[in-house]
Amino acid sequence: MAKILGINLSDLKEFEIKDKLNFFLSGQISHYLVTPNPEIILAAQRDEELFYILNQADLSLADGFGLKLAGRLTRQNITRLTGADLVPYLLGLAQSKKLKILIINWRGGLSKQVDIKAALSEKYPQLNFLVLDLSRFQPLTRDLNEKINNFQPTILFNTFGSPYQEKTIYHNLKNWPSVKLALGIGGAFDFITRKVRRAPAFWRRHGLEWLWRLLHQPSRWRRIYNATFVFSAKIIKSYYLNPFLYRPNVVCFLYKKIEEEIFVLLVERQDDACHWQLPQGGRDGEDPKTAGARELREEINTDKFNARAVFKNVYYYHYKEAARSSTHRQQADYCGQKQSLFIAEFIGAENDIKVNFWDHRAYKWVNLNNLINEVHPIRQTGIKIFIEKFKSLHLYEKKQ
């Protein structure tokens, strides 16, 4: 398994990938496949839900020459298999094995239901398929799920584009028991319907498909610039500069008063059961106050708090030291983290708090006097510093 900017990518050869797809289709369990390209991986650096969903996939195939180049830069073996190549293979396989195909198609895309029906009927006359034109934001109602399940598809394609296609599949696959393989394929059907002309084989073979698209679709220049130059710069920074740097991080000390006692919010990590810690996250170029407020809004889905204080870079730790005593996840290839502290008072009700499933399993309020004993052992050195900073504000003192 290869990894680019934290996203898992398959290192299987093409024939091994096809063997695995056949294995998925012959089993009784539902699987979902993702095809990250540089644009999707860049988006996942900002969208934590997408990041989590991509890394939960049963198979992750690199789509885009930029990922092949990233593999070379990072000395990793990455097989590139584009959606434009994968879709015809699966359609042919489905026709030969008499498997039903469902296409959940974005009605705002270039290829409409009528276009896809006409193209598939011409190229795959024995294929049994159903095309549904839907909005990216249309709820999958009980009636719609019933229609899907009555058809009983084995393979499901979603053309919503990222991140909508990945999130739609992840959250709904359990509702379609007949589906053995589901994947988001963006605009891959546009090549089949001839709405978009694919680059000639020579351009694709030499990794110049991006240049072909730029010449024929100059309006895509910003997307192509991000997928080539911005992406490459991030790869170089991540693998050749970050290992010598500490990642700027902010820790959120959210407290509330109950009968003159102070209680502090802890969250349990999704990737490490019983690992309790304060909410925290990367600063992403923001100052600690802005980043701390954003992290609380993102991780516990509430803005019911008032900022009280900020302390910048109060604690440094190295990832190697943390990894000795937990399944601590290294972030973005930095050597460690430098943590600022954002202190805020909770002013809402319990039903205002909802932790994100991709970040945390649960949350709890812990008495300040017992906080050190409740956090994971690797967090205890830092928590002592954070408690001292909190106490220095004299917000906790009981009334005389």
Q: How high is the mean pLDDT of the chain?
A: 91
What 3-state DSSP class applies to 334?
coil
Flag whether pLDDT at 330 surpasses 50.
no
The secondary element (H helix, E strand) that includes residue 156 is strand 155-158
Flag whether pLDDT at 103 surpasses 50.
yes
Instruction: Evaluate whether residue 227 is within a structural domain.
Output: yes
For the entire predicted model, the pTM comes to 0.88
Instruction: Evaluate whether residue 75 is within a structural domain.
Output: yes
Instruction: Evaluate whether residue 65 is within a structural domain.
Output: yes
What pLDDT, on the 0 to 100 scale, is given for residue 80? 85
Task: Please indicate, yes or no, whether residues 190 and 70 belong to a single structural domain of this protein.
Answer: yes
Task: Please indicate, yes or no, whether residues 287 and 251 belong to a single structural domain of this protein.
Answer: yes
Query: Tell me: the pLDDT tens digits for 236-256?
Result: 999 899 999 999 999 999 999
Instruction: Kindly state the greatest CA–CA separation across the chain.
Output: 85
CATH code of the domain containing 308: 3.90.79.10
Query: For strand 336-346 and strand 305-318, is the pairing parallel, antiparallel, or unpaired?
Result: antiparallel
Task: Please indicate, yes or no, whether residues 253 and 209 belong to a single structural domain of this protein.
Answer: no
Question: How many structural domains comprise the chain?
Answer: 2
What 3-state DSSP class applies to 100?
coil
Query: Distance between CA 149 and CA 151 in Å, rounded?
Result: 5
Task: Please indicate, yes or no, whether residues 225 and 299 belong to a single structural domain of this protein.
Answer: no
- What's the token pair of residue 252? 């959120």
Task: Please indicate, yes or no, whether residues 9 and 96 belong to a single structural domain of this protein.
Answer: yes
Instruction: Evaluate whether residue 398 is within a structural domain.
Output: no
Query: What residues make up the domain containing 345?
Result: 246-391
What DSSP character marks residue 375?
Answer: S
192, 218, 238 - which closes a domain:
238
Query: Tell me: the pLDDT tens digits for 286-314?
Result: 999 999 999 999 999 999 999 999 999 99
Please report, for residues 16, 43, 110, 125, the alpha-carbon distance to residue 230 in angstroms, rounded to integers and kept in the order given: 31, 12, 27, 43
238, 259, 290 - which closes a domain:
238
Flag whether pLDDT at 2 surpasses 60.
yes
| pLDDT bracket for residue 200 (50, 70, 90) | confident
Please report, for residues 265, 266, 388, the alpha-carbon distance to residue 255 in angstroms, rounded to integers and kept in the order given: 6, 10, 14
Instruction: Evaluate whether residue 218 is within a structural domain.
Output: yes
Task: Please indicate, yes or no, whether residues 100 and 127 belong to a single structural domain of this protein.
Answer: yes
Instruction: Evaluate whether residue 72 is within a structural domain.
Output: yes
Query: Distance between CA 11 and CA 1 in Å, rounded?
Result: 5
Query: Distance between CA 179 and CA 200 in Å, rounded?
Result: 34
Long-range CB contact pairs, 355-358, < 8 A, 24+: 355/267, 355/299, 355/300, 355/301, 356/48, 356/49, 356/298, 356/299, 356/300, 356/301, 357/52, 357/270, 358/48, 358/49, 358/51, 358/52, 358/53, 358/270
| Complete DSSP assignment for 279-325 | -EEE-TT--HHHHHHHHHHHHH----EEEEEEEEEEEEEEHHHHHTS
Q: Which of 55-64, 115-124, 260-269, 388-397 has the lowest mean pLDDT?
A: 388-397
What pLDDT, on the 0 to 100 scale, is given for residue 48? 92
Positive or negative CA dihedral for 315, 318, 324, 328? positive
Query: Distance between CA 32 and CA 157 in Å, rounded?
Result: 10
Residue 292 corresponds to which amino acid?
A: G
Task: Please indicate, yes or no, whether residues 229 and 257 belong to a single structural domain of this protein.
Answer: no
